[in-house]
Every structure is written in C-alpha cells, then in structure tokens.
Amino acid sequence: MTTSSRLNDLMREGEEALEAGEFAKALGRFDAVLSEDPDHWGAALDRAEALHLLWRTKEALRHVLELRPSEGEEDDADRADLEARIREAAGEFEEADRLFAEASRLDPEQFPPPCRTTAEDFRSILEVALASLPDPIRAVVDQVPVVVEVKPRRAMAEHSPDIDPELLGLFVGTTVGDKESGGVEYGDVVFLFQRNLERAGANRADVMEEIRVTLLHEYGHYLGFEEEDMERLGLE
C-alpha cells in the first residue's frame, strides 16, 4: 500500500469515527496522519474538531489558531466555523458570532448565519413546537419538563460520555420502562441547548422544526424507544 493510500484510509476511518461519535478513535487516526504528513490540512482541522468534541477546548483552540491564514490572506470557511464553535464552547459568544458571520461570508451556502434569538423569543418558539407534538408526547411534557440551557456544559459530560459541545438536546432521568421495573426514580428533564439549535436552522421556521424533532427524540428516550425505533418512527 502506498503512503498516499494509507493516509487516505486513515482519514476515512477518522472521519467515520467522528460521525459515529467515537472522538478518541478519530483523534488517534488524525494523529497518525499528521505523524507522516505534518502539513496535512484536513487532518489538522479534523484533529482540532476531535479535540473540541472531547471537551479539550483549550487544546482545540490552540490548534485551530495555528491554521489561521497569514495577515492579508483570506480565511478558510471550515476553519472559521470550527474556531467559532470552539469559542462558543468556551463561552466566548461575541467572538464566536463574529467568526460564524465570517464563515457565512466565505461560504454562505454551507454556513448560513445562525438564527439568533433572545431567551424570551426562543421560549415562544419552543411553546409553538411543544403544541405541535403528537398527543402521546404532549401528555408527558408536564411530567418531564423542558429546561433551556445556552450550551452543554463540561460538568454534564462528566456524568455522561455521550454529551458533547454540539448536542441539541438531552433527556436526563429514568425511562418509563425502568420506572415500571422498579428502577430508582430521579427527577426527569429534557434539556434543549439554545445556541446549538439556533445554528441548526437558517430561520425561525427551521429552528422551530429542529426543536420539534429534538423534543420528539428526547421524549422518545423517556418513553423507552431504542434508536432503531426512533429512526423507524422518524424521530431521528
């Protein structure tokens, strides 16, 4: 196998691992590429992405800044968007939004500007989305309330390895099946992460649809649906 073929295979494996949520595995693949080709742009950018998704925010920011163009040269849209997401995870929202706008300017089709809302406006969109849910889902909303957070927090990830900075929503608690089988009951809640959901849509209608789909998915978890069930029912 040639060096080029081996690096292509490693990149493919790394990208597949990123897609599957296997971020540590992805990081290892991109490290392997960079050990043979330190100037490999795609591996360097994807490595910063993996670090970001592993909550290694300071490292991710340092690496993505190393890819910033020289003075007077135009930035890369993918790089600008990634730096924006890393800064957002760090709570640097103003700088993140400046970089999101730059990514959108560079590639408006791939990176439409986020549909930013106030907390009150987001809640009004949420109320409409809740009213649109099927009756079986609406029936459990009073038992399992929705809590809006600006972003996922690192402290959440310490309790669940499935939580990453790009998460749209999260069910926390005990599923109906576990309650019926005598599981210990904790407070049940569905979290929505406002800034991530705003970035998932180009306008209010898109954001409302993303909220609706996320609610269906997370309440599906509460009701005990498996991932395959939710995919079959269109809740993915």
DSSP secondary-structure letter at 113?
A: P
Say if residue 22's pLDDT is above 70: yes
> Contact, 85 vs 165, CB < 8 A?
yes
Distance CA 215, CA 130 (A): 8
**Helices (H), ranges, 107-144:** 119-131, 135-141
CATH architecture classification, 119-232: 2-Layer Sandwich (3.30)
Confidence band, pLDDT 50/70/90 cuts, at residue 194: very high
Cα–Cα distances in angstroms (integers) from residue 88 to residues 57, 81, 96, 97, 169, in the given order: 10, 10, 5, 8, 17
pLDDT digits (tens, 9 = 90+) for 99-158: 999 999 999 999 999 999 999 999 999 999 999 988 888 888 888 999 999 999 998 888
pLDDT digits (tens, 9 = 90+) for 57-116: 999 999 999 999 988 899 999 999 999 999 999 999 999 999 999 999 999 999 999 999
DSSP secondary-structure letter at 162?
A: T
CA angle 195, 165, 112 (to 5 degrees): 45
Give pLDDT, residue 228.
61
Distance CA 14, CA 24 (A): 10
- For the chain, domain boundaries: 3-106, 119-232
CATH architecture classification, 3-106: Alpha Horseshoe (1.25)
Looking only at the bridges linking them, the beta strands covering 189-193 and 169-172 are antiparallel
Paired tokens of 7: 């690096």
Name all contacts of 174-180 with Cβ < 8 Å and 24+ positions apart: 175/221, 175/222, 175/223, 175/224, 176/222, 176/223, 176/224, 177/224, 178/224
Q: What is the pTM of this model?
A: 0.88
The residues, any chain, with a CB within 8 Å of residue 79's CB and separated by 6 or more, are: 45, 64, 67, 68
Distance CA 100, CA 82 (A): 9
Same fold, 3-106 and 119-232: no
